[in-house]
Amino acid sequence: MSSLVDAGLTVHVQEGAGRHAHAVDAAYRAAGATVTPEDPTPESDVVVSVQPLTLDQATRLKPGAITISFLQPATERDLLEVYRDRRITSFSFDLLPRVTRAQSADALSSQALVAGYRAVLVAAERLPRFLPMFTTAAGTVPPAKVLVLGAGVAGLQAIATARRLGAVVEAYDVRRAAGEEVRSLGAKFLELDLETQSGVYASVQSEEFLERQRELIGEHVAASDVVITTAAIPGRKAPVLVTTDMLKAMAPGSVLVDLAAESGGNCTASVAGQETWVGEVLVHGALNLPSSMPVHASRLYARNVLNLLKLMIVDGVVQPNLDDEVLDGCCLTHDGRIRKELP
């Protein structure tokens, strides 16, 4: 907040906006912002939010205003049409290019960090047994077995957290390079008889590949007390990694946490925001897990927003230059047109 003020911007915050993140109005005022009792959106030149604006908010924006948020073009067609008609310039963190210059603004990664950490705590809370090993006078309690599917930012943080809590952890990812990162955290990387990818980020796989993948993963799922799935592809339906039959092979009391539930789910039994029992196995369809850790999720997101805005600020005015590859890549609407193809 103070960095934006120092850059010459006038910042308005709606009263109570930071309440759930334990950020009081007085803190915003101390940072140089103006706290207003009414929604400041209609009078603002730049509107920053986490979730996309509502259609009502969008219709009240000033023509030519700028918005920054998470915004999936595949699911927000009506909103994009409003932005187009009102000549709004909209930027989405969902489309931020994966280049070095954009890393400090990568809100997908910062929120995935929070989600991966939280997913393990959710599983540990619901698992009816210990995660670590205990040696007691009454005997030894073996450690829980945790399987993490997907070793991106969320998966790696889930691995690290589960290891800190004393679990035995295995992980799988289609990317060959992920193996070294998984092993560096003390987990076992599953070497499956499947073609691997050489890129930094996973790409879409064929249904034939996914079917074979499920066959090979099945025995590892069955042997696990906790499964955490993290495979999501922005703008696309999440690949199915765990079937109902695989869940039925797990031990009673086992837990699966699906971080991709909001985009269709890596598990066929997942429902975003709900917990579902498949026999004696609990499936937690994660919904916006970062919001359950609002203090650090908000701090990380605020830094991402600031770093993206820095690319647009010229002499105290927000003037995005779409010749910049980072801004061009995440700009959805500008000058009365939708710039990205809608799936």
- Measured CA to CA, the distance from residue 121 to residue 38 in angstroms comes to 37
- Measured CA to CA, the distance from residue 307 to residue 309 in angstroms comes to 5
- Measured CA to CA, the distance from residue 270 to residue 53 in angstroms comes to 27
Q: What Å distances lie between residue 44 and 48, 88, 124, 311, CA to CA?
A: 10, 12, 44, 19
- Measured CA to CA, the distance from residue 266 to residue 268 in angstroms comes to 7
> Scanning the structure block, which residue is given the tokens 């008889």?
193
Residue 237 tokens, joined: 């339906």
- Measured CA to CA, the distance from residue 124 to residue 120 in angstroms comes to 6
Single out the catalytic residue among 6, 77, 201, 299. Answer: 201
Residue 299 tokens, joined: 């701090």
Single out the catalytic residue among 109, 197, 205, 292. Answer: 109
Single out the catalytic residue among 103, 104, 184, 274. Answer: 103
Phi, psi of 219 (to 5 degrees): -70, -30
Residue 263 tokens, joined: 């985009």
The answer to whether 109 is a known catalytic residue is yes
Task: State the DSSP H helix or E strand holding residue 331, giving kind and residue range, or none if neither.
Answer: strand 331-334
Single out the catalytic residue among 69, 90, 106, 263. Answer: 106
Helix (H, G, I), strand (E, B) or coil at 84: helix
The answer to whether 201 is a known catalytic residue is yes
For the chain, the straight-line distance linking the first and the last C-alpha, in angstroms and rounded, comes to: 35
Specify which residues 92 forms β-bridges with. Answer: 69
Judge contact between 271 and 30, C-beta under 8 A.
Answer: no
The answer to whether 69 is a known catalytic residue is no
Single out the catalytic residue among 19, 29, 77, 98. Answer: 98
- Measured CA to CA, the distance from residue 146 to residue 143 in angstroms comes to 9
The residues carrying an active-site annotation are 98, 103, 106, 109, 201
